[in-house]
Amino acid sequence: MRPRRRCDIGKDVSVLVPVLNEKEAIGDVIDEILSIGVPKERIIVVDGGSTDGTPDIAKSKGVIVVRQFGKGKADAVRTGLELVDTEYVVVIDGDYSYPAKYIRDMLDRICSDIRYDEVIGARVRGRENIPLINRFGNWFLTRIFNLLFNTNLRDVLSGLYLVRTKTLSSALFETSGFSVEVEIAAHVASVGGEIGEVEIEYRRRKGKSKLSQSFTKSLSTGVSIFADIIRLAWRYNPASLIFSLGALMLVPGIALGLVVAYHYFFTGIKYYVRGLIAIMLTLAGFHSLIAAVQMIYSKRMEKRIIRRIDALERILTEKKKE
């Protein structure tokens, strides 16, 4: 695979920082981004209606500050995206929990291989700074996402990720709130792009958390994200979702079959109707499982074709620039 040209962090990247009442952190976040070479005019702070003076602190740093349209993180990303004119865009939470130094590693990763359309900062170190309920929810939701979208990610809900602007601009942004990371990854995975990861450290946030205020709120947020993952799977690959759900019929089919077999061999009781139902459920589940596997492989083939076409387009574009 032919590597891409080496990217310039001062010219090729814009950084979006969605914020809502982050006065304790936003100044330090901006200073960190500036320290790695991102110019002020490429840092876009998108404010969701802060009442604590966050926009004023950001403006004092000389960066672009805009009030977002709509409500929630997804609308913040969409608002900031309208001001981006670089090839790549980074989204980073404004609570100081994600070190900006990893943006360079993420840019090197996406520029070194034309397969990637997104690179996520996977929170591998410092996970003790994530509340236990959120940590478990992230693990569970990432596994569900990997299953439905045929990916192998470790942290799909990370608040630090870099995306090719052209790819991100074609996303529909149908979800709201903290599901935006899932929707972006689902979009990239479904249009033929590859998603890479860079291991990062996660720090204790500055200021009050918007997720870990209570067990009930965290659980409600997790359930909402889970519902959005299912909805996105239905939008991008409905056949695979249907067959995957159909394969679950194997569970009651096999369980019922074992009960019927036990009574037949050890008690002499013959449950003909239950046995027939068990056979039907097992066969239906097995056929659905085979169909789901076939859909996964066909989707992989589709992604490879799309990726090759896209790679050729990028190579031709770079040759024209040369």
pLDDT at 292: 80
Element (H, E) at 191: none
Residues in the chain: 322
Q: Per-domain residue ranges for the chain? A: 13-236, 239-321
Structure tokens at 308: 């090759």
What's the pLDDT at 300? 67
Residue with tokens 């050729």: 312
CATH class of 13-236: alpha beta
pLDDT (0 to 100) of residue 268: 87
Please identify which residue in the block is written with the tokens 């096999």: 254
pLDDT at residue 1, rounded to an integer: 42
DSSP-derived letter for residue 267 is: I
Q: What was the pLDDT predicted at 206?
A: 85
Cα(87)–Cα(14) distance, integer angstroms: 8
pLDDT of residue 3: 46
pLDDT of residue 213: 54
User: What secondary structure letter does DSSP report for 14?
Assistant: E
Find where tokens 């972006």 sit: 184
The whole-number pLDDT of residue 236 equals 84
Tell which residue, 190, 147, 140, 188, has the closest CA to residue 302. 190
If you compute the radius of gyration of the chain from its CA atoms, what whole number of angstroms results? 23
Q: d(Cα 296, Cα 138) in Å, to the nearest integer? A: 24
User: Which residues are CB-neighbours of 258 under 8 A, at least 6 positions away?
Assistant: none
Handedness of CA 264, 267, 268, 272 (dihedral sign): negative
The pLDDT, as a whole number, for residue 291 is: 84
pLDDT score, position 2: 42
Average pLDDT per block of 10 residues along the chain, 322 residues long:
66 95 94 96 95 94 94 91 94 95 94 88 93 91 90 94 92 83 92 88 83 68 91 84 87 94 91 93 92 75 70 74 64
Q: Quote the CA–CA distance of 194 and 197 in Å, as a whole number.
A: 10
